[in-house]
A = this chain, B = another copy of it.
Amino acid sequence: MDENYPIKRIIDDHGHFVDSTFENEIDEKLVKELYYHMLRVRTFDRKAINLQRQGRLGTYAPFEGQEAAQVGSALALQPDDWVFPTYRDHGATITFGKSMTRTFLYWNGRVEGCVAPPDRNIFPPAVPIATQLPHAAGAAWAEKLKGTQNASIAYFGDGATSEGDFHEGINFASVFKVPVVFFNQNNGYAISVPIEKQMNSKTVAQKAVAYGIPGVRIDGNDCFAVYFETKQAFNHARAGHGPTLIEAVTWRKGAHTTADDPSKYRPETQGKDIVDPMTRLELFMKNYGYWDEQWIEEVKEKTANEIDLAVEEMEKYPASNVEDVFDHVFAEMPPQLAEQKESYLAHLERR
């Protein structure tokens, strides 16, 4: 079956074109945009790991290795689209417009970290695996009913494909032909469980057959493949043709989270042959004359400053407000809850 789902690539491991379909659409603007965002989120990611090590952040889920998949797909979105991320997709959400400060806050156990800017429809990260797929279908359905051109994207991992909600969400989307892109990052592992223990199918993409929708398998470390295939899936969706399942084959370079020790379950050498998505883009830029040392230095500096500022903002952020424990359960607090709040605040006063 997997022979029906060859991995689509636009550039190879050495940064050379292997597919020229989109060659004309690749220009300096796009290349720099991809590079800029990938560098930016990678720098964020590494900073977050450092902060966690220093005890300035809680347990953190890194995405290093998945930048091409996350940035490439996020850049394919329109501003009014809907994004349904997991806990590992802040590379995508930051690229789409979520604030870094808020993202740091999220990893410090701050609910404020879930809130995206008002002009971006970004759901809070889904922690219960695969539960966001039906939401993406529902939001897309609403857009269809409203008659807009907006669409949804649901991010999820290889492990998520085993949950019922994966199945039910895609089934609904396919039956109601709603504009949604199911974007799977197959990063090889669900915590410690390798993909061959997760599923008996050789690919995630082939699962699209179950729903009679297109399934596309792409090299998730090739930012161009990700960008253009996601864009195509969105075009398909916006044109009223319904959902697409994209499998972006990528690799989680680091631990599942900072609390995880991958050496317990995967060989040191595994994945070492995979060319890093940033390296691949750099090679491409050098091969095709996009490499601009000065611009890169500027971008690095700008990004570093931006992130430092975000760290500062995060650390200066007003302390958690105990009232938030009670205030966002209902629009209007039921009497018993109001009483609980009141009596707890009074208790705190007394202490």
Is A192 positioned at the interface, with any CB of B under 8 Å from its CB? no
A174: chain B residues within 8 A (beta carbon): 199-201
Is A164 positioned at the interface, with any CB of B under 8 Å from its CB? yes
Closest to A196 in B: B175
Is A165 positioned at the interface, with any CB of B under 8 Å from its CB? yes
Shortest CB-to-CB span from A167 to chain B, Å, is 4
Contact residues of A between 99 and 151, Cβ < 8 Å to B: none
Q: How far is the CA of A221 from the CA of B200 in the complex (A)?
A: 31
Shortest CB-to-CB span from A168 to chain B, Å, is 5
A209: chain B residues within 8 A (beta carbon): 1, 201, 206-207, 209-210
Is A231 positioned at the interface, with any CB of B under 8 Å from its CB? no
Q: How far is the CA of A175 from the CA of B242 in the complex (A)?
A: 30
Shortest CB-to-CB span from A242 to chain B, Å, is 8
Is A302 positioned at the interface, with any CB of B under 8 Å from its CB? no
Q: How far is the CA of A165 from the CA of B168 in the complex (A)?
A: 10
| CB pair B197 A175 closer than 8 Å | yes
Closest to A167 in B: B167
Shortest CB-to-CB span from A157 to chain B, Å, is 15
Q: Looking at the complex, which one of B163, B171, B177, B206 makes contact with A168 (CB distance below 8 Å)?
A: B163
Is A213 positioned at the interface, with any CB of B under 8 Å from its CB? yes
Is A6 positioned at the interface, with any CB of B under 8 Å from its CB? no
Is A198 positioned at the interface, with any CB of B under 8 Å from its CB? yes
Closest to A206 in B: B209
Shortest CB-to-CB span from A200 to chain B, Å, is 4
Shortest CB-to-CB span from A136 to chain B, Å, is 16
| CB pair A198 B175 closer than 8 Å | yes
Shortest CB-to-CB span from A204 to chain B, Å, is 9
Closest to A209 in B: B209
Is A87 positioned at the interface, with any CB of B under 8 Å from its CB? no
Listed residue (A165, A175, A213) with the most chain B CB atoms within 10 angstroms of its CB: A175
Q: How far is the CA of A242 from the CA of B175 in the complex (A)?
A: 30
Q: How far is the CA of A166 from the CA of B170 in the complex (A)?
A: 14
Shortest CB-to-CB span from A38 to chain B, Å, is 32
Is A162 positioned at the interface, with any CB of B under 8 Å from its CB? yes
A177: chain B residues within 8 A (beta carbon): 200
Q: How far is the CA of A210 from the CA of B203 in the complex (A)?
A: 9
Is A254 positioned at the interface, with any CB of B under 8 Å from its CB? no
Shortest CB-to-CB span from A137 to chain B, Å, is 12
Is A212 positioned at the interface, with any CB of B under 8 Å from its CB? yes
A197: chain B residues within 8 A (beta carbon): 175
| CB pair A1 B212 closer than 8 Å | yes
Closest to A177 in B: B200
Listed residue (A167, A198, A201) with the most chain B CB atoms within 10 angstroms of its CB: A167
Shortest CB-to-CB span from A128 to chain B, Å, is 13
Q: How far is the CA of A174 from the CA of B210 in the complex (A)?
A: 15
Give the interface of A toward B (CB within 8 A). 1, 162-168, 171, 174-175, 177, 197-202, 206-207, 209-213, 242
A-B contact pairs, 22 of them (CB 8 A): A1-B212, A162-B171, A163-B168, A164-B165, A166-B167, A167-B167, A171-B199, A171-B200, A174-B199, A175-B199, A177-B200, A199-B211, A199-B212, A200-B213, A200-B242, A201-B210, A206-B209, A206-B212, A207-B209, A207-B210, A209-B209, A209-B210
